[in-house]
Amino acid sequence: MKQLIEGHKRFLKEVFPARRSQFRLLAESQAPEFLFITCSDSRVVPDLILGTGPGDLFISRNAGNVIPVTGNDIDGTTATIEYAVEVLKVKHAIVCGHSDCGAMKAALNRKGLEHLPKASRWLHHVESAFSNRQPPNPADGEHAELTSLIRGNVVAQLMNLKAQPSVASAVARGDLTVHGWFYDILSGQVERYDEQQRRFVPLIE
């Protein structure tokens, strides 16, 4: 806890005073342009990767950057998506997976799930990643099989995102654009899924 307390002290002393007017505006409302759906993994820090700050991203996180499609069930992720699209009127919705994803490792190997019944059930939401697995990239070396599955999961969850009623309506009206991204922790690079080419390409050409 000491690390967090010291960090908050620095925020109050060094960051907040310089941005007081911005926080005064944000205290009463938000108008983010981007919905960012990503994994709970501690190594994925959207504001650090993208240079964004308070009020820029509306973020939803869960193990494996999953977007459930389960009939009438209610879950935090799809509720967040609905709110972002219908109330906040975001212009872009991004599903972002990442390298070395623990959820996808578990889906691939099915090890260590005996005492994790909720996590095991949650992984049913990533089964479609196997049918959307991307061609292995030799550059990924020994992790090529896992990385191809992680990219496949981004594609699968992007399809699930499009299937959300609020998203489908907003896309049809031209009010919303959806994106699938893959973040490589080692290189810091982000790839985007090109739906016309049906492959991942560098976000920065």
Which residue from 82, 31, 80, 88 is spatially nearest to 59, judged by alpha carbons? Answer: 80
**Beta sheet of 177-183, edge-to-edge order:** 57-62, 34-39, 92-98, 177-183, 190-194, 199-202
Q: Give the residues across from 96 on adjacent strands.
A: 38, 181
Among this protein's residues, is 125 annotated catalytic? no
Residue with tokens 């907040």: 16
User: Which of the following is catalytic: 19, 43, 124, 198?
Assistant: 43
Q: Could you tell me the CA-to-CA distances from 200 to 137, 144, 167, 168, 175 in Å, in that order?
A: 11, 14, 22, 23, 24
User: Quick check: is 24 catalytic?
Assistant: no
Out of 96, 101, 151, 192, the active site residue is 101
* 173 is annotated as an active-site residue: no
> Which of 39, 96, 151, 179 does the annotation list as catalytic?
39
Active site residue 98: yes
The verdict on whether 101 is a catalytic residue reads: yes
Active-site residue identified among 73, 96, 98, 110: 98
Kindly name the residue from 10, 19, 24, 41 that is annotated as catalytic.
Answer: 41
Q: Which residues are catalytic?
A: 39, 41, 43, 98, 101
